[in-house]
Amino acid sequence: MKNINKLNIQFYKCFFTILFVMGVNLYSFGQDVIVKLDGEEIESKVLEITPESIKYKLFDFQDGPLRNISKEQVALIIYENGTRENFSKIEVSNELKNISLEETKAFIVEYINKYGYEEDTFKRPYKATFEGNYLRLVVLRRNGVDPVNDGLLYDFSNVYKFQRVSKRSDKLAFINIFVSILKNDRKDKWDKHKLVMRVSGIPEAESIVNALKHLNSLLLEKDAVDAKF
Q: Give the pLDDT of residue 227.
A: 59
Summarised one tens digit per residue, pLDDT across range 145-198 is 999 999 999 999 999 889 999 999 989 999 999 999 999 988 889 999 999 999
Given this model, what pLDDT does residue 13 score?
47
Residue among 85, 44, 143, 63 at smallest CA distance from 127: 143
CA angle 122, 126, 129 (to 5 degrees): 165
Q: Which band of pLDDT confidence, cut at 50, 70 and 90, is reported for residue 29? A: low
pLDDT single digits (tens) 197-216: 999 999 999 999 999 999 99
What's the confidence (pLDDT) of residue 155? 96
Q: 3-state SS of the chain?
A: CHHHHHHHHHHHHHHHHHHHHHHHHHHHCCCEEEEECCCCEEEEEEEEECCCEEEEEEHHHCCCCCEEEEHHHEEEEECCCCCEEECCCCCCCHHHCCCCHHHHHHHHHHHHHHHEEECCCCCCEEEEEEECCEEEEEEECCCCCCECCCCEEEEEEEEEEECCCEEEECCEEEEEEEEEEEEECCCCEEEEEEEEEEECCHHHHHHHHHHHHHHHHHHHHHHHHHHHC
Residue 93 has pLDDT above 60, yes or no: no
CA–CA–CA angle 209, 52, 71 (5° rounding): 40
Average pLDDT, the chain: 83
Residue 205: closest CA among 105, 116, 73: 116
Does 224 or 159 have the greater pLDDT score?
159
- List, in order, residues 6 or more apart from 118 with CB less than 8 Å away: 124, 125, 126, 139, 197, 198
**Residues 109-120, mean pLDDT to the nearest whole number:** 96
How far apart are the two ends of the chain, measured CA to CA in Å? 62
> Confidence class of residue 87 from pLDDT cuts 50, 70 and 90?
confident
Q: How far is it, in rounded angstroms, from Cα 214 to Cα 225?
A: 17
**Average pLDDT over every residue of 59-63:** 89
**What average pLDDT does this structure show over 112-125?**
96
Query: What is the rounded distance in angstroms from the CA atom of residue 11 to the CA atom of residue 18?
Result: 11
Q: What percent of the chain has pLDDT over 90?
A: 56
Q: Which domains does the chain have, with CATH numbers?
A: 2-86 (2.30.30.100), 94-228 (2.30.29)
Residue 226 has pLDDT above 80, yes or no: no
pLDDT at 26 (0 to 100): 39
Residue 2 pLDDT greater than 90, yes or no? no
